[in-house]
Amino acid sequence: MSAVNLDQLCAKYGWQMAKAVHDAIKKQAENHITKSLGVLQEDGVYAFFLYQASRGSKEKPGAEKLTEQARAFLEEAGITAFQGAADPLKSVREGLAADLDQLLLAKRLLEQALIYARYHVKALEG
């Protein structure tokens, strides 16, 4: 198995997250990504996915795109609980929460990707 450059993966998904959220909710994209990053940093991976699921009609399309991208990112990064998983909340509750090393890695990777996404979306907005 070849080694994965995790920062390169963060950059790739940061761009994809920014583009997907921007395409879905335009002017609210930067705000949504910034708030999502804050939830992740303060409250963790489960709260991040729960925050996405709780968004109202204005943010829902962007939150759904961000959830899809974050799930795919963690799967590609090799986070065990996300391998073939469809429901990120269930993946965290029933798998990731039981493995502290994987949980901390997932949080750090998502954090870096969202930081990149925030800068990418600023560039998209102009």
Q: What is the pLDDT of residues 4-36, one digit of tens each?
A: 799 999 999 999 999 999 999 999 999 999 999
What are the domain boundaries of the chain?
6-125
Q: Tokens standing for 65?
A: 């795109």
- Give CA–CA dist 1/106, Å, rounded: 20
User: Which pLDDT tens digit goes with each residue over 39-63?
Assistant: 999 999 999 999 999 999 999 999 9
Residues in Cβ contact with 117 at an 8 Å cutoff, skipping those fewer than 6 apart: 13, 14, 15, 17, 18, 21, 33
The pTM (predicted TM-score) of the whole model is: 0.94
What's the CATH number for 6-125? 1.10.520.30
